[in-house]
Structure formats: structure tokens, C-alpha cells
A and B are shown apart, each in its own frame.
Chain A
Amino acid sequence: QSALTQPASVSGSPGQSITISCTGTNSDVGGYNYVSWYQQHPGKAPKLVIYDVTKRPSGVSNRFSGSKSGNTASLTISELQAEDEADYYCSSYTSSSTVFGTGTKVTVL
């Protein structure tokens, strides 16, 4: 159960779009359409922002969108805002378990 690979950091200016990648294998990301994304502010619990690769939970801004190609999933945040500055984690279902990504720190310049 190796962690999914994410870039350590991504940054962007307010109003811009950024994309965070999440790379796994054909046993996890590539094998199922069950990728989730979480936003975590310092000292807070994670918050689900995307599930089933592309779906948004009720109440999550439509500025958050997800996609997948092969063994790599992506989270795009459009119209970047100061409140989007946080850590982001992907996760994927894999053979009766789930695996998280290494995490990406998003900085709003």
C-alpha cells in the first residue's frame, strides 16, 4: 500500500487556476473510478471536496473539479481564492482498502 504521489507544493495567484496531480498504479487510481480529494486547513480535520473522481459533495464550490487519465487523477481549483490555501490529499480505493496521497500544499500568492 504505497502512498499515491502528489507534488509537494503548488502555487498560484488569486483568480488563476491550478491543478494538483495524484499518481498511482493500475491497482488503485487506474483500476477504479473511486478517487477522492480532501482539503485540510492547519489544525483542522480534512474536508471532502471531490469523490468518485468528478463528483462534488453538496456545499462544495464548483470551482473545484476532478478528472482522471490512466493512473493519474487531478484536482483543478479555478478562480483561486485566499481561502483555498491549504493542504490537499487525494485518496483511492484499492482492493478492500483505501490509500491516501502524499499531500500537496497550495499557496495563494
Chain B
Amino acid sequence: VTLKESGPVLVQPTETLTLTCIVSGFSLSDPRLGVGWIRQPPGKALEWLAYIFSNDEKFYRKSLKNRLTISKDTSKGQVVLTMTNVDPVDTATYYCARGTLEGGFDYWGQGNLVTVSS
């Protein structure tokens, strides 16, 4: 099982951030599993952002719900997170991870450090 994030390293304030997670070793249609996005600002704690289950049910962090969209392409093994209107406070390493909201995340990608700056 592997997950790998890809996306920009630098994003301008007010722009839209798009991150892609490519998974292998398991199927995004596995009825027991889903994929989540978690971020970690430099030197700070983990923060859960969004989650998509195998049946396409989606869940979002309440405080960011109006800025986040999560989607998946099962045939390509990809999960995409978009975040609109980014701000310097969104500077963080963004991780995708396999698992469930209840049982935790058992496999994680290496992370994609995104800096929001003009």
C-alpha cells in the first residue's frame, strides 16, 4: 500500500490549491476504507481536513467546509483536494492517508509542503 501526494510547492494568496493523492496497493472502491487529507503547519500539530469514503460520501472540517472540495477517480486511483482562497496561514505539509474516521489512518503519504506567499 502506498499513497503519494503531488501539488504545488508555492501558491499565491487568494488562489486555489489543488492537491492530488495517487494510491496503489488497495482500491478506492474497497467498502471498508476511504482516504483523508490531514495537514500540519510547520512546527505545529496535525489537523484533519477532509475525508472521502468508498461510496463517495464526503466529510469536511466544519471551519473550512466552504473552502474545501474532496473528490476521487476510482479508475485512476486518485483522490483530489481543492482549497479555495488560500492564505499564508494555510502554509503546511499536506498529507493524504488511508483509513476511516473512526479507526484512524494506517497508511500515509510522504507529505507535500505547500507555502502560501506572494
Among B48, B59, B99, the residue within 8 A (CB) of A100 is B48
Q: How far is the CB of B31 from chain A (nearest CB, A)?
A: 18
Number of A interface residues in the complex (CB < 8 A): 24
- Which residues of chain A are near B105, meaning CB under 8 Å? 36, 46, 48
What are the interface flags for A89-105 relative to B under an 8 Å C-beta threshold, 1 for contact and 0 otherwise? 10101001111111100
Q: How far is the CA of A101 from the CA of B60 in the complex (A)?
A: 18
Q: How far is the CB of A78 from chain B (nearest CB, A)?
A: 21
- Which residues of chain A are near B109, meaning CB under 8 Å? 45
- Which residues of chain A are near B38, meaning CB under 8 Å? 46, 100
A-B contact count (CB 8 A): 66
Interface pair A36/B104, CB less than 8 Å apart: yes
Number of B interface residues in the complex (CB < 8 A): 25
The chain B residue sitting closest to A50, CB to CB, is: B104
Q: A38-B104, A97-B59 are in contact. List 8 more A-B contacts (CB 8 A).
A: A1-B62, A32-B102, A36-B105, A38-B46, A46-B97, A48-B105, A52-B103, A89-B45
30 intermolecular pairs with C-beta atoms under 8 Å apart = A1-B61, A1-B62, A1-B63, A34-B102, A34-B104, A36-B103, A38-B46, A46-B38, A46-B95, A46-B105, A46-B108, A47-B108, A48-B105, A51-B103, A51-B104, A51-B106, A52-B103, A57-B106, A91-B46, A91-B104, A96-B101, A97-B59, A97-B60, A97-B61, A98-B36, A98-B48, A100-B38, A100-B48, A101-B45, A103-B46
